[in-house]
Amino acid sequence: MRRVVITGLGPVSSIGIGKERFWENAKEGNGCFQNTAFQDVEVEQYKSRVCSPINDFSPEEYLEYPKKMKRAGIAAQYALLGAYLAFRDAGFEVEPADSGNGKTRSGVPNFYRVNVPDPSRCGVILGQSTINPDVLLPQHAKFLRDRGPKRLNPFTLPHSNINASATLVSEWFFLKGTNLTVATACASAAHSIGMAALNIQNGMEDLVITGGTDAPIDSYFFSGFDIINAISCRNDDPMTASRPWDKDRDGFVVGEGAGILVLEELGHARRRGAWIYGEITGFGFTADAYNIVAPDPYATAGIEAVKRALAMAKVSKEEIEYINAHGTSTVLNDPNESYIMKQVFGERAYRIPISSSKSYFGHTLGAAGGLETIVTMLTMQHGVITPTANLFHPDLDYTETAAPQLDKRCDLDFVPKKSRKKDVGLALKTSFGFGGQNGALVLKRYLP
């Protein structure tokens, strides 16, 4: 098997764009939470009004911004900026280019070109949980109002499709290998990273831009989470609304953004003298086959996903030094994940630091596993484990109604409130999505 390394990080999130600002806030657990302010509906209709948005998103601060990309949905724009930042962080030259038709009248380029040796050996595999509502829904409203298609924007269909983000990243940077969108709910980005690693391991490609993106802070999608009581109703105190493993947790906080990474085959990275953050050595994924929303209370498939990742990485449970968990702050997921760790690691589960990044940037759905993998890589680089913010009172008395005989108390080392200095050489990243989509990655510090 060829070795797969991570050489570039491109976070776009509510706590920062670019790895420097992102890390400064992540290591302190500084969140960015506020109440929603939808323009098209009265927010008083919602039980929950808490979210973690990217305020004042201005990609023009980082690059010349082609007008044609402004037609894209905001999730695709997050992915494009994240990919640009990741390529630059990986040491690639990213130069303005054109498609053969020249530049626009304003002189802004149509595309960018990355100086990769062989574009046909470079792919795009991105996760995304939702379609692009900011493109589709206004046009659908116009369709209904005008009773027909005459006034519709012809770009609506291609830019509203769930594959638009990956397609535009491929087009914008002239990457001609795999172009794949993974839509496995909250596990989308973790699955994308794992699939990208498999592509490189198996010799199909030398480089893949991967991770995930999502922009679900939309009145319609927000309604869906609100009506099933999945999101926090701590409207009077939004800054502490995301409380993974806390006994007072009442749901996740909807976030948005993109977590984009550059993965390369080790020799490909070495030949160009790239800085290497770490290595992906294991990937496991399974399905609960249980319920479209609720996790399997016995968590057999989730346990198996973690075991498969460890087996592929050829590491024992004693070697894992840190777990960046899914940690959603929901009533069912948190104790389920605690139980999974106890079943996989036994008594050692109590000695492994575990933290949830969603406690400070919210649940970014299809982007979550990408942003959290970036956090894990920076943890390894800096020797600092980011905290589980807002964990005031661990849920030590939780009892699972469906399976009361199982120990699902949230009594592990969840690194509450404050970051912790610790040298981490081997870490586990878990993701558990709606519909029983389970994913686990084993991440390793790079050793030549």
Segment holding 185, helix H or strand E = none
Cα separation, 93 vs 80, whole angstroms:
15
Q: Where are the alpha helices (DSSP H) in 174-261?
A: 188-201, 219-227
Cα separation, 164 vs 300, whole angstroms:
34
Number of alpha carbons in the 13 Å side-chain half-sphere of residue 446: 21
User: Which 8-state DSSP code applies to residue 380?
Assistant: H
Q: How far is CA 182 from the centre of its chain?
A: 12
Beta-sheet pairing, 16-17 with 322-324? unpaired
The catalytic position among 186, 191, 268, 410 is 186
CA end-to-end span of the chain, whole Å? Answer: 16
Q: How far is CA 232 from the centre of its chain?
A: 20
Going by C-alpha positions, the residue among 22, 2, 119, 1 that lies closest to residue 370 is 22
CA distances from 5 to 23, 96, 125, 280 (A): 20, 27, 16, 6
The sign of the torsion formed by the CA atoms of 3, 128, 426, 29 equals positive
Q: Which residue has the tokens 């993998």?
A: 373
Q: Where are the alpha helices (DSSP H) in 107-218?
A: 133-146, 156-160, 164-173, 188-201
**Residue 363 a catalytic site member:** yes
The catalytic position among 51, 268, 363, 410 is 363
**Residue 393 a catalytic site member:** no
Beta-sheet pairing, 122-127 with 179-182? parallel
Burial class (CB in 10 A: 0-12, 13-18, 19+), 339: buried
Q: How far is CA 291 from the centre of its chain?
A: 22
Q: Point out which residues pair with 207 in neighbouring strands.
A: 122, 264
**Residue 326 a catalytic site member:** yes
| DSSP 3-state of 260 | strand
Going by C-alpha positions, the residue among 205, 208, 203 that lies closest to residue 263 is 208
User: Which 8-state DSSP code applies to residue 36?
Assistant: -
Cα separation, 292 vs 387, whole angstroms:
30
The catalytic position among 159, 191, 268, 326 is 326
Going by C-alpha positions, the residue among 223, 217, 214 that lies closest to residue 35 is 217
Going by C-alpha positions, the residue among 156, 161, 188, 168 that lies closest to residue 81 is 168
Q: Provide the residue count of the chain.
A: 448
Give the active site residues. 186, 326, 363
